[in-house]
Chain A
Amino acid sequence: MVELDLIKAAQAGDRDALVELLRGIENQVYRTAYYLLNNEQDALDASQEALIKIYTKIHTYEEKAQFRTWVQRIVTNLCIDKFRRIRPSVSIDEHELVFESADNVEDEVMSAYASEEIREAIGKLPEHHRTVIILRYMQDFSYNEIADSLNLPLNTVKSYLFRARQQLQTLLRDYQKGGVRG
């Protein structure tokens, strides 16, 4: 059964269809949670919670939204809540200052970054920037899909994404320098 049929069946009360639907999305839910929370156990908890929420809220899904953006909205909201509980002291302003000041130095030699470094760098982004990056690259979402998922204006999404990439680039460059210099 294709996803749309499964959704309709699930909304009509077909529990098997709903469970099958969940199986179809569990990996993408987990992937977002994993990169947002940067921790396997937290990601497992959050993605299970998200799947349960989808299970209980499936009737509220309306076809005018894409199912996958609806799913990502649920998982990102849960992760952001979780993230705030884990790291309540981090504020976006703090990050902005750091990144703004470091952004002018552009003399480094470019090379590929290890995925571990990238993951760590993503973990240092402010939550909205991080979320936008993850939806863009881990879910291959368009600007519009990200905007739908996060309920943000399109221009805000672009602004977050562009800034996030610059911040990541700065962080990774610092990593490399740190690595080279020991």
Chain B
Amino acid sequence: MTCDEGRELIQHSIDSDLDSQETVLMNEHIRTCPDCAAFLERMTLLSKNLAELPRVAPPFSLVDAILPKLEIIDAEARVAEARAAQTGNAVSEESAVPAELPRRRNRSTLRRVAGAIAAGLVAGLVIVTAPSLFHSSSNDSDSKDSVALSEAPAAKSEARSFSTEASQDSAGFSANSSQSEDDAEAPSETESLGTEPTASVKFAEPAPSVGESAAPAADSSDTAGAGETKETTGSIESGAVAPSKGIAPSATPSPSAEATGKSLAGESGGEGLVPSEGGETSGALEDAEMNGALSVPFPALEWISPDQKLKAVAEEQRISVYSNEDHSLIFQSALHEGESLSSVYWEQDSSLLHYSWKDSEGNIKDMVWDASANVESPASESPNESSGE
């Protein structure tokens, strides 16, 4: 054996990568070659020293340090996807995997489904803003998991079939094919409500106080509030099932938002249901948008500022800012007829609210509202656009 071969074996032996026969060969060579014996000694020592190097750790939690950045990334990804969907571009690679299933659905189905989302929100609005109009139902249902909300009597029978289905299919309708029951039953509501621009009305505005008032009714009611409530559940679930890039967005959650979500959606939908929580609602919205449901205006959504003091609300053809404490109106944009709102997010320090309007020709106007001055102006990247103020 040459010394080169011997040293090759020695190197392997340092990594415990010799079989017994090779070990014998190496030892034989070392016995007859002092240089290689010294080499083994040196390598063994070096390897030991390397293995004993300090296992350094960062002086602070790196993950904590990047959390704000991750939230920005989530927000940007949502914006990018919403825009890509609006312009009909291929969705980025990131979202391709999780969003694949829902995107296969045909467009007409999607429109109806998205319409149903809006219809559901309207129904939710009516129910939560006027709880006294409804009574709690003591009717049982196949599942305690079905949408828990006081119901409209007229919708009862329909509601049960939906709620049952909702509770059985944890994935919501995203796994259903287009001939499923929700398609068969949704259209009447969808067409009358879903295409109506007022579908989003001001759901989010009364929401914070409603969560509590509606809660007792929810406790005693096992059936769904209305047929379209199930649609809401299913749709938003699909948003949760197929969130953009597999990263569940989480914008500033607020207790009121959660209460609202619960009162609307009951227990069947889980966390994907909260319509007034920025991040998750956006997930559902994106899903609807990505699936071609662009003719439907935004359902009412709200974005609570990072300091929890302000609340931007997407209303019909405008965006408004309310105090998150007393819900008083602070700012209301001009009406943007035929335009869609997107890319809504707060600056980290809550000083600025960013949002964009997109008209029917696809032109995007990026706007910014300054909280301290209460002034809306075009964002710097599109200085030639007017604010519409």
Chain A positions within 8 Å of B, measured between CB atoms, are 10-16, 18-19, 22-23, 26-27, 29-31, 34-35, 40, 43-44, 47-48, 51-52, 55-56, 58-59, 106, 110, 112-113, 115, 118-119, 133, 136-138, 143, 158, 161-162, 165, 168-169, 172
Which of B17, B50, B57 touches A118 (beta carbons < 8 Å)? B50
Asked if residues A112 and B45 are in contact (CB atoms below 8 Å), the reply is yes
Instruction: Report the Cα distance A22→B43, complex, angstroms.
Output: 35
Which of A29, A43, A58 touches B246 (beta carbons < 8 Å)? A58
Which of A26, A136, A143 touches B63 (beta carbons < 8 Å)? A26
A-B contact pairs, 14 of them (CB 8 A): A11-B97, A14-B248, A15-B247, A15-B250, A23-B61, A31-B57, A43-B58, A51-B66, A55-B70, A56-B245, A110-B42, A113-B49, A137-B53, A162-B8
Binary per-residue interface labels of chain B (57-99) against chain A in the complex, 1 for a CB within 8 Å, 0 otherwise:
1110111011101100110010000000000000000100110
A71 to chain B, nearest CB (A): 13
Asked if residues A22 and B56 are in contact (CB atoms below 8 Å), the reply is no
Question: In the complex, which residues of chain B have a beta carbon less than 8 angstroms from the beta carbon of A143?
Answer: 15, 17
B35 adjacent to chain A (CB < 8 Å): yes
Asked if residues A51 and B56 are in contact (CB atoms below 8 Å), the reply is no
Question: In the complex, which residues of chain B have a beta carbon less than 8 angstroms from the beta carbon of A27?
Answer: 55, 57-58
Question: In the complex, which residues of chain B have a beta carbon less than 8 angstroms from the beta carbon of A35?
Answer: 53, 56
Instruction: Report the Cα distance A61→B301, complex, angstroms.
Output: 33
Q: Tally chain B residues at the interface, Cβ within 8 Å.
A: 50
Within 8 A of A (CB), among B267-302: none
Question: In the complex, which residues of chain A have a beta carbon less than 8 angstroms from the beta carbon of B211?
Answer: none
A103 to chain B, nearest CB (A): 11
Asked if residues B97 and A59 are in contact (CB atoms below 8 Å), the reply is yes
Asked if residues A138 and B53 are in contact (CB atoms below 8 Å), the reply is yes
Asked if residues A13 and B15 are in contact (CB atoms below 8 Å), the reply is no
Instruction: Report the Cα distance A77→B241, complex, angstroms.
Output: 32
Which of B59, B63, B74 touches A23 (beta carbons < 8 Å)? B63
Which of A16, A118, A162 touches B53 (beta carbons < 8 Å)? A118
Top 4 A-B residue pairs of the complex, sorted by shortest distance between their CB atoms:
A15-B248, A13-B243, A137-B50, A162-B11
Which of B46, B62, B246 touches A30 (beta carbons < 8 Å)? B62
Chain B, residue nearest A28 (CB): B55
Asked if residues A119 and B53 are in contact (CB atoms below 8 Å), the reply is yes
B287 to chain A, nearest CB (A): 11
Asked if residues A34 and B247 are in contact (CB atoms below 8 Å), the reply is no
Known: A13-B248, A52-B73, A110-B41. A115 touches B47 (CB 8 A): no
B240 adjacent to chain A (CB < 8 Å): yes
B11 to chain A, nearest CB (A): 4
B14 adjacent to chain A (CB < 8 Å): yes
Question: In the complex, which residues of chain A have a beta carbon less than 8 angstroms from the beta carbon of B12?
Answer: 158
Asked if residues B54 and A115 are in contact (CB atoms below 8 Å), the reply is yes
Chain A, residue nearest B95 (CB): A59
Asked if residues A59 and B46 are in contact (CB atoms below 8 Å), the reply is no
Which of A31, A48, A58, A110 touches B66 (beta carbons < 8 Å)? A48
Question: In the complex, which residues of chain B have a beta carbon less than 8 angstroms from the beta carbon of A29?
Answer: 62
A69 to chain B, nearest CB (A): 17
Which of B43, B63, B65 touches A169 (beta carbons < 8 Å)? B43
Instruction: Report the Cα distance A169→B14, complex, angstroms.
Output: 14
Asked if residues A31 and B55 are in contact (CB atoms below 8 Å), the reply is yes
Asked if residues A110 and B15 are in contact (CB atoms below 8 Å), the reply is no
Asked if residues A13 and B98 are in contact (CB atoms below 8 Å), the reply is yes
Chain A, residue nearest B247 (CB): A15
Chain B, residue nearest A52 (CB): B66
Known: A15-B248, A18-B247, A169-B42. A47 touches B15 (CB 8 A): no
Instruction: Report the Cα distance A15→B46, complex, angstroms.
Output: 43
Which of A16, A34, A106, A137 touches B39 (beta carbons < 8 Å)? A106
Asked if residues A165 and B11 are in contact (CB atoms below 8 Å), the reply is yes
Which of B45, B56, B59, B243 touches A110 (beta carbons < 8 Å)? B45
